[in-house]
Amino acid sequence: MIPLDPLTFTPGRAAGLARWAAFLPEAGRRYAERRNFDEGPGHRANVSALSPWIRHRLVREDEVVAAALARHGDLAAEKFIQEVVWRTYWKGWLEQRPAVWTRYRAAVAAGLDALEREPDLRARWEQATAGRTGLACFDAWARELLDVGYLHNHARLWFASLWIFTLELPWALGADFFLRHLLDGDPASNTLSWRWVGGLQTPGKIYLARADNIARFTAGRFPAATGLATAAQPLREAPLDPPRPIPAAETLERGAPLGWLITEEDCDPLSLDLPADAIRAVAGVTAVSARSPLPAGPLPAAFARGAVDDALARLGAALGCPTVHWPAGVGAATVIDWARAAGVARIATAYAPVGPTAEWLAGLRAPLARAGITLTVPRRAWDDALWPLATRGFFPFKEQVPAALRRLGLGGRPGTV
């Protein structure tokens, strides 16, 4: 069993693979039995804590699933693999309903406006985000988030429930707090998980934190939680538009000189089918600062930057070409100047799902086109195979996962996972 402390979260592929190698023996039945227990910082041996690396694709979903299947087999690895594909499910679901992200952005803006108008609301929000509410469990999780940038998944559900139903704070501001401070902050997983707790994602169904459940699954750290809401009404919203088809994948043509762009969404470029002989320059950029109108926490900002730096170093060394790491929010003019200096009229980058990076890339297309530069965003086979299956809830999705894994060459007997 391995301890976990803040220093474990080193933003590089080698560190992520080392964490995975150490946890792999635990990823079978022992994980299924112990995964729901949050025993506190420094006691994370029952979970992989791989999410910061997987979120940035320093470690990929397909290689983790393949290793878990090879080590433990389909049945024993089932729960672990389900946790891996939850993030994929959320991404595929949001990719088909991008207006939900737009709604979330609007809800955050409305919540921040309310803080300016309502001093009592602002005081309660400040207490919650500083871990000073008087609810021992909630305050401990808030401080852990600020200090470590990570929370156990069960704690995330409890925290969100207490934020919405006990503290009666705007749900979108809670999601914003997470997105600004989680090392694995992900637009799809974070937004949709908060919606699920509040009763928006599955209309009418909420997740209500209970004192006995918290006491049981925190090893008695919070045995006397009082003042928790014992009943609540689900949040409501206007009906959603019908889902859209996932945008068609783009094909990266071979031949002409190319500039490759690394974003925080995909930091393992060497596993892509790159036209290595055509790449003349590599650039990297993060979008953590665009997650919120409020400043992002220093931990996720540093992790994302370190992840991109690590990817730049690995790809630059492999190709022997120059690299540059741009500041967050760099404009199209800088990108155009970089492409012209490198002598390329084509730029490519791995597909970015709905979120700040995708918004930034979308804003580049027209200025690049006017400058005679094309932008291509090829998508990974994992996403192509699994995202389209996320049409309804998770359970219909997971029933289709085994067949999708077999199509990807990852094995698994029919009907398991």
- Which of the residue ranges 244-258, 280-294, 318-332 would you say has the lowest mean pLDDT? 244-258
Average pLDDT over residues 387-394: 96
Q: At what angle do helices 136-148 and 171-181 cross, to 10 degrees?
A: 40
How would residue 412 be classed by pLDDT, with cut points 50, 70 and 90?
low
Kindly report the length of the chain: 417
Report the pLDDT value the prediction gives residue 238, as an integer from 0 to 100: 95
pLDDT above 60 for 3: no
Distance between CA atoms of residues 321 and 334, nearest Å:
19
Q: What are the structural domains, with CATH classification, of the chain?
A: 6-95+384-407 (1.25.40), 99-217 (1.10.579.10), 258-378 (3.40.50.620)
Structure tokens at 325: 């790491």
pLDDT digits (tens, 9 = 90+) for 40-77: 888 889 999 999 999 999 999 999 999 999 999 999 99
Distance between CA atoms of residues 388 and 145, nearest Å:
33
Report the chain's C-alpha Rg in angstroms: 21
pLDDT above 60 for 281: yes
The pairing of strands 279-285 and 374-376 is: unpaired
Distance between CA atoms of residues 141 and 40, nearest Å:
9
Report the pLDDT value the prediction gives residue 100, as an integer from 0 to 100: 98
pLDDT above 90 for 414: no
pLDDT above 60 for 416: no
- Residue 380 · residue 351 · CB < 8 Å: yes
Distance between CA atoms of residues 81 and 364, nearest Å:
36
pLDDT above 90 for 231: yes
Report the pLDDT value the prediction gives residue 8, as an integer from 0 to 100: 76
Report the pLDDT value the prediction gives residue 1, as an integer from 0 to 100: 39
Distance between CA atoms of residues 28 and 77, nearest Å:
5
pLDDT digits (tens, 9 = 90+) for 104-124: 999 999 999 999 999 999 999
pLDDT digits (tens, 9 = 90+) for 189-212: 999 999 999 999 999 899 999 999
Q: What is the mean pLDDT of the chain?
A: 94
Tokens 């155009």 -> residue: 336
- Lay out the sheet containing 258-263: strands in order across: 323-325, 279-285, 258-263, 346-349, 374-376
Rounded to the nearest 5°, which phi and psi values hold at 154?
-65, -40
